[in-house]
Chain A
Amino acid sequence: MSYWFSWVVSNVLPFITAAVFFGGLAYRVVRWRRIPRASVSLVVPPGSRSVGQTLREIVTEVVTFRRVFKGSKVLWVVSWLFHLSIFVFVLGHLRLFMEPMWLWNLLGLTPEQVDLLAFAGGGASGTVFMLGLMALLVRRLMMPVRSLSVPGDYYLLLLLLAIAISGNYMRFLMHIDLEPYRAFFSNLFHLRLGVPVENMIFVSHFLLVQVFLIYFPFSKLVHVIGSGLTLKWTLR
Chain B
Amino acid sequence: MVHEVDTETRDVVESLREKVKGPIEAWFDICAHCGLCADSCHAYVGTGDVEQIPSARAQQLERVYKRYHTKLGQLAPWLVGAEELDGEVLDRLQKMAYQCTLCRRCTLYCPFGIDNASMVGVIRALLAEAGRVPAGLQEHTDTAYEKGNTLGISEDEFLHRVEWFEEELQDAVDDDEATIPLDKEGARVLFVPTPVQIMRFPTVIISAAKIFYAVGEDWTMSTKRFDSTNFGLFSGEAEKRRVMAERLVDEMERLGAQVLALTECGHSYWAMKYGAEIWLGTPLAFSVENIVEMIAEYVSQGRLKLDPSANTDVVTYHDPCNLSRKGGLLEEPRICLEATTQNFVEMTPSGEQTWCCGAGGGVIAIPEYDQVRLASGMPKADQIRESGAQVVATACDNCKLQLLDLAEHYDLDVSVVGVVDLVADALILDEDRD
Chain A residues with a Cβ under 8 A of chain B? 28, 31-32, 35-42, 44-47, 61, 65, 67-68, 70-72, 75, 139, 143-145, 147-151, 153, 220, 222-223, 226-227, 229-231, 233-235
Smallest Cβ distance from A19 to chain B, in angstroms?
Answer: 20
Chain B contacts for A39, CB-based, 8 A: 22, 278
Smallest Cβ distance from B383 to chain A, in angstroms?
Answer: 16
Q: List 26 A–B pairs whose Cβ atoms lie within 8 Å, in order of A's numbering.
A: A35-B23, A38-B115, A42-B115, A42-B118, A44-B104, A44-B326, A45-B324, A45-B326, A45-B328, A45-B352, A47-B328, A68-B111, A70-B109, A71-B39, A72-B36, A72-B39, A144-B50, A145-B34, A148-B33, A220-B33, A222-B29, A226-B26, A226-B112, A227-B111, A229-B26, A233-B115
Give the residue among A70, A72, A147, A153 with the most B Cβ atoms within 10 A: A147
By beta carbon, the residue of chain B nearest A34 is: B25
CB of B159 closer than 8 Å to a CB of A:
no
By beta carbon, the residue of chain B nearest A235 is: B113
Smallest Cβ distance from B351 to chain A, in angstroms?
Answer: 8
By beta carbon, the residue of chain B nearest A225 is: B30
Chain A contacts for B108, CB-based, 8 A: 44, 67, 70
How far, in whole Å, are A79 and B35 apart by their CA atoms in the complex?
13
By beta carbon, the residue of chain A nearest B55 is: A148
Chain B contacts for A68, CB-based, 8 A: 36, 111
By beta carbon, the residue of chain B nearest A220 is: B32
Chain B contacts for A222, CB-based, 8 A: 29-30
By beta carbon, the residue of chain B nearest A70 is: B109
How far, in whole Å, are A220 and B35 apart by their CA atoms in the complex?
14
Assess whether A148 is in contact with B109, with CB atoms less than 8 Å apart.
no
Chain A contacts for B340, CB-based, 8 A: none
Chain A contacts for B274, CB-based, 8 A: 40-41, 46
Chain A contacts for B275, CB-based, 8 A: 40
Give the residue among B104, B115, B327 with the most A Cβ atoms within 10 A: B115
Chain A contacts for B26, CB-based, 8 A: 32, 35, 226, 229-230
- In the complex with contacts A44-B108, A46-B326, A226-B36 CB distance below 8 A: no
Chain A contacts for B114, CB-based, 8 A: 230
Assess whether B115 is in contact with A220, with CB atoms less than 8 Å apart.
no
Smallest Cβ distance from A11 to chain B, in angstroms?
Answer: 31
Chain A contacts for B56, CB-based, 8 A: 147-148
- In the complex with contacts A67-B109, A68-B111, A150-B327 CB distance below 8 A: no
Smallest Cβ distance from A139 to chain B, in angstroms?
Answer: 8
Assess whether B29 is in contact with A28, with CB atoms less than 8 Å apart.
yes
How far, in whole Å, are A38 and B23 apart by their CA atoms in the complex?
6
Assess whether A35 is in contact with B25, with CB atoms less than 8 Å apart.
yes
Number of interface residues, chain B, beta carbon within 8 A = 45
By beta carbon, the residue of chain B nearest A229 is: B26
Assess whether B30 is in contact with A147, with CB atoms less than 8 Å apart.
no
Kindly count the residue-residue contacts between A and B in the assembled complex, taking CB atoms under 8 Å apart: 133
Chain A contacts for B112, CB-based, 8 A: 223, 226-227, 230-231
Chain B residues with a Cβ under 8 A of chain A? 21-23, 25-27, 29-36, 38-40, 44, 50, 53, 55-56, 59, 81, 104, 107-115, 118, 274-275, 278, 324-328, 330, 352
- In the complex with contacts A45-B330, A68-B111, A233-B53 CB distance below 8 A: no
How far, in whole Å, are A104 and B326 apart by their CA atoms in the complex?
52
Assess whether A144 is in contact with B36, with CB atoms less than 8 Å apart.
no
Chain A contacts for B50, CB-based, 8 A: 143-144, 147-148
Smallest Cβ distance from A61 to chain B, in angstroms?
Answer: 7
- In the complex with contacts A67-B111, A144-B35, A144-B50, A36-B326 CB distance below 8 A: no
Smallest Cβ distance from A180 to chain B, in angstroms?
Answer: 37
By beta carbon, the residue of chain B nearest A149 is: B33
Smallest Cβ distance from A219 to chain B, in angstroms?
Answer: 9
By beta carbon, the residue of chain B nearest A143 is: B50
How far, in whole Å, are A144 and B278 apart by their CA atoms in the complex?
37
How far, in whole Å, are A144 and B32 apart by their CA atoms in the complex?
14
Assess whether A36 is in contact with B21, with CB atoms less than 8 Å apart.
yes
By beta carbon, the residue of chain B nearest A147 is: B50
Q: Please list the 3 inter-chain residue pairs (A to B) with the smallest Cβ-Cβ separation, ordered nearest first.
A: A234-B113, A145-B35, A147-B50
Chain B contacts for A42, CB-based, 8 A: 23, 107, 113, 115, 118
Assess whether B330 is in contact with A220, with CB atoms less than 8 Å apart.
no
Chain B contacts for A40, CB-based, 8 A: 118, 274-275, 278
How far, in whole Å, are A72 and B39 apart by their CA atoms in the complex?
9
Chain B contacts for A70, CB-based, 8 A: 108-109
- In the complex with contacts A44-B104, A148-B53, A148-B56, A75-B36 CB distance below 8 A: yes
Assess whether B23 is in contact with A71, with CB atoms less than 8 Å apart.
no
Chain A contacts for B30, CB-based, 8 A: 220, 222-223, 226-227, 230
Smallest Cβ distance from B313 to chain A, in angstroms?
Answer: 29
How far, in whole Å, are A145 and B29 apart by their CA atoms in the complex?
18
Assess whether B35 is in contact with A148, with CB atoms less than 8 Å apart.
yes
